[in-house]
Structure 1
C-alpha cells in the first residue's frame, strides 16, 4: 500500500476539502485526486462522497480512517528506529565480566541519555562482519594481530592497556606472593582453556610464550569462568591469567589469590573498532568519552606484542 496515498487520504479526511489537503501537502489538487483514486482502486471501495461543501468520508472511508492513521504511525516508528541517534548504540563487549563491560558501564553513567545495546561476539571474524553489515556499531578488540589486519573501511583507537594478574588457589607455590615477576613464572603451569588458534588473544599468548618462555596450556574444553575458578582453586599445580579489571565472583572457600605481575607488567591492549562511515552520533560521544577517561597506554615497564597498533 502506497504510504503517500494513505497520507493524502488522512489529510483530505481531516481537511474536508481536496484543495486544503493539497495546500497542506504542498502538491496540486489534481495530485490529491489521483492519489485517492489510486487508493480507492486498490481497496475496491469509495472513500469519499463529493458534496457541495467538499468531500465527506463514505462509510468505508470512516472505517478505514483509524487504520490509516495507525499505518502512518507505524511507518514513522519504523523510520525512527533506524534514524541516526534514534536507535540504541550497539557495541560488542566480548564478555559480560570483562574490562570492556566496565568501560561501557562508566560511559552509561556519564551519558544516561544515550540508549545502549551491548552484545557479546567472541570470534573477531563475527564481530567485524557485524560491524561491516551495520548489525553493531563498534567492537572492542586487540589490533592488529598477525593475519588479522584492520579492514580498509574500519578505524580503530587504542583505549585501554589492561594489566594481567596471576590467579592461583591457596595451595599454589606462589599463592603467598604480593607480586611476581615474569621470570618467576617460568616452569609454572598456566592454564588458559578456550584460547582459539588464529584469534587475537591466541596471537597475544603465543607471543607471550615466545618472548618469556612461559608454559601456557590451552588443553580441555572451555566450560566458562566458573569452572575455571573451581579447577584453579582445587589444583595447586595450576594458575591462570586474568585481566586486572575482569570482575570475578567465587565462593569464599576457594580462597583464590589475584597477584600482580611485574618486570615487566604484562598488559592486554584493547581497542575500539568501528566502520569509518558509521553515522551514529552516539559513537562520536563514546569515542570522546574513552579518550578523556582512559589512560595508561605504552607506559614504561609494560609489555605488549610488537604487532599491537600504537596509541
Structure 2
C-alpha cells in the first residue's frame, strides 16, 4: 500500500478539505485528489464524498481511518528503528562482566538521553570487525592485532582501554594475603583459564604474556562458566586465574575469594573501539569523545606491559 496515499488520506480526513490537506502536505490540491483517487482504486471503495463544505468520510472511509493512522505509526517506528540519530546506538561489549560494559555504563550515566542497545556478539575481533562493517553494530571493543592498513577501508580503530589484571585466588592459596603481586611472583603458580580457543585475540595475548614472564597459563579443559571456575578456585590451594580490574564478578561470602592487583609492571589487555568512519549516528561521536576525555583513567602510561604485536600496528 502506498504510504503517501495513506498519509494524504489521513491529512484530508483531519482537515475536511482537500485544499487544506494540500497546504499541510506542501503539495498541490490536484496531487491530493490524484493520491486519494489512486488509493480508492486500490481499495475498491470510495473514501470521501464531496460536499459544498469540503470532503466528508464515507462509511468505508471511517472504517479505514484508524487503520490508516496505525499504518503511519508503524512506518514511523520502522524508520526510527534503523535511522541513525533516531534509533538506539548499538554497541557490542563482548560480555556484560568486562571492562567495555562497565565503561559503557559510565557513558550512559553521563549521557542518559542517548539511547543504547547493548549487545554481546559471540565473535572474536575478526567477526566483530565484519559486524561493524556490515552495520550489525555501530561499535565494538576488542584487542586489534591487524595493522590499520590491512583492515577494511571504512573501519577505524582507536585504543581506548588498557585493562590491568588482578589475580583471583582462594583463601588457601600461597598468595592469598598479598596486597599486590608482580608478574615474577606468579612464576611457578598455575594460572587456570580453561576453554580458551587457540588463534583468538585472547589466546594470542595470554601466549605473549606467558612467554614474556615465564608463566604457566593452563587452558586445558572445557569451560563450565565463571561460577564453576570461581568455585574451583575457592576450594583450591593451587589454582588461580586472571581477571580484569574493572570486571564484575559476584560470589558467596563463604568462598572468600581475593582479587590481588598485578603490578611492577602491570600487564594490560589493550582494547580498541572499532567503528565505521562513515557512520553518521550522533551517539557514536559522543561515545568516542567520552572515551577520549577519559584517556588518563582508561590508558595508564606508567609501568605497564603490552604484547609486542601492539607496537607493530
Q: Compute the TM-score of the two structures, normalised by the length of structure 1.
A: 0.92
C-alpha distance in 2, partners of 1:198/1:153?
A: 25
Gap runs ≥5 in structure 1: none
Matched residue, 1:153? 154
Matched residue, 1:123? 123
Matched residue, 1:220? 221
Matched residue, 1:300? 302
Q: Is the 8 A contact 2:129 2:155 kept in 1?
A: no
Matched residue, 2:142? 141
* Cα shift at 1:309: 6.2
C-alpha distance in 1, partners of 2:21/2:261?
A: 73
Counterpart secondary structure, 1:180: coil
Structure 2 residue 188 is matched with structure 1 residue 187: yes
Structure 2 residue 139 is matched with structure 1 residue 166: no
Counterpart secondary structure, 1:190: strand
* Cα shift at 1:66: 2.2
Q: Is the 8 A contact 1:46 1:58 kept in 2?
A: yes
Q: Is the 8 A contact 1:158 1:309 kept in 2?
A: no
Q: Is the 8 A contact 1:144 1:309 kept in 2?
A: no
Describe how 1:17-36 pairs up with structure 2 within 5 A: 17-36=17-36
Describe how 1:68-83 pairs up with structure 2 within 5 A: 68-83=68-83
Matched residue, 2:114? 114
* Cα shift at 1:145: 5.5
Q: Which moved more, 1:234-243 or 1:292-301?
A: 292-301
Q: Compute the TM-score of the two structures, normalised by the length of structure 2.
A: 0.91
C-alpha distance in 1, partners of 2:255/2:25?
A: 71
Q: Is the 8 A contact 1:159 1:295 kept in 2?
A: no
C-alpha distance in 2, partners of 1:235/1:149?
A: 45
C-alpha distance in 2, partners of 1:209/1:247?
A: 24
* Cα shift at 1:226: 0.9
C-alpha distance in 2, partners of 1:149/1:236?
A: 45
Counterpart secondary structure, 1:242: strand
* Cα shift at 1:310: 8.9
C-alpha distance in 2, partners of 1:22/1:72?
A: 18
Q: Which moved more, 1:236-245 or 1:166-175?
A: 166-175
Deviations 1:191-239 (A, max 9, x none): 1113121211111011112222211111111111111111111121211
Gap runs ≥5 in structure 2: none
Deviations 1:28-75 (A, max 9, x none): 333222211111111111112233333322221122122222222222
- In structure 2, relative to structure 1, the CA distance for the partners of 1:52 and 1:246 (3 Å cut) is closer
Deviations 1:59-103 (A, max 9, x none): 211221222222222222222232322221111111121112211
C-alpha distance in 2, partners of 1:77/1:259?
A: 49
Q: Which moved more, 1:209-218 or 1:169-178?
A: 169-178
Counterpart secondary structure, 1:9: helix
Matched residue, 1:243? 244
Counterpart secondary structure, 1:38: helix
* Cα shift at 1:171: 2.1
C-alpha distance in 2, partners of 1:144/1:136?
A: 20
